[in-house]
Amino acid sequence: MKDLLWDKTLSVDVPEIDQDHRRLLELFNRLAHAVAEAEPQAEIEAIMDELISCTAWHFRHEERLMDKHGVPGRDEHRAEHQDLINSGRALQQQLQQSSRPPSAQEIEFLEHWLTGHIYGTDMAMGAHLAEVM
Ligand SMILES: [Fe+2]
Range of the domain at 33: 25-38+49-115
Domain membership of residue 5 (yes or no) is: no
Domain membership of residue 1 (yes or no) is: no
- Give the ranges where 1-103 is alpha helix by DSSP (H): 15-36, 41-68, 74-98
**What is the rounded distance in angstroms from the CA atom of residue 103 to the CA atom of residue 12?**
30
Q: Give how far Cα 58 sits from Cα of 30, 63, 87, 118, Å.
A: 18, 9, 16, 12
Q: Quickly state the pLDDT bin for 2 (edges 50, 70, 90).
A: confident
Q: How far is the CA of 48 from the centre of ligand 1 (A)?
A: 19
Q: How far is the CA of 133 from the centre of ligand 1 (A)?
A: 17
Q: Quick one: pLDDT at residue 17?
A: 98
Domain membership of residue 18 (yes or no) is: no
Q: Model confidence over 67-101: pLDDT tens digits? A: 999 999 999 999 999 999 999 999 999 999 999 99
Contact 92, 52 (CB under 8 A): yes
**Averaged pLDDT for residues 109-117:** 96
Query: How many distinct structural domains can be found in the chain?
Result: 1
Q: Quick one: pLDDT at residue 48?
A: 98
Q: How far is the CA of 1 from the centre of ligand 1 (A)?
A: 26
Domain membership of residue 80 (yes or no) is: yes
Question: What is the reported pTM?
Answer: 0.95
Q: Quick one: pLDDT at residue 61?
A: 98
Domain membership of residue 30 (yes or no) is: yes
Domain membership of residue 130 (yes or no) is: no
**What is the rounded distance in angstroms from the CA atom of residue 92 to the CA atom of residue 97?**
9
